[in-house]
Amino acid sequence: MAVFPYSVVKGYMPVRSGNLAKVSRVFEFGRVRFRAFEREDLKLLHAWENDSELIMYSRSRPLNFASLAQLEKQYEEWMKEEKELHFIVELIDSNEAIGIARLNRQEWSNVKTAEIGTYIGKKDLWGKGLGREITVGLLEMAFNQLNAERCQAWSVEYNRRAHKALEACGFKKAGVTRQTVFVNGRKWDGYYFDILRNEYLNTRLDLLKRTLGDKAKDYIDKNDEI
Q: What is the DSSP letter of 146?
A: S
Asked, for residue 191, whether it belongs to a domain, the answer is no
Over residues 101-145, the pLDDT tens digits come to: 999 998 767 889 999 999 999 999 999 999 999 999 999 999 999
Asked, for residue 185, whether it belongs to a domain, the answer is no
State the CATH number of the domain containing residue 19: 3.40.630.30
Q: Which residues of 78-105 are buried (b: 16+ CB within 10 A; e: fewer)?
A: eeeeebbbbbbbbbeeeeebbbbbbbbb
Residue 28 CA to residue 22 CA, distance in Å, equals: 17
Residue 91 CA to residue 83 CA, distance in Å, equals: 26
Helix (H, G, I), strand (E, B) or coil at 169: coil
Asked, for residue 24, whether it belongs to a domain, the answer is yes
Asked, for residue 194, whether it belongs to a domain, the answer is no
Asked, for residue 92, whether it belongs to a domain, the answer is yes
Asked, for residue 138, whether it belongs to a domain, the answer is yes
Amino acid 24: pLDDT: 40
Number of domains within the chain: 1
Residues of the chain with pLDDT under 50: 1-24
Note down the domain range covering 95: 14-152
Amino acid 201: pLDDT: 96
Asked, for residue 109, whether it belongs to a domain, the answer is yes
Asked, for residue 207, whether it belongs to a domain, the answer is no
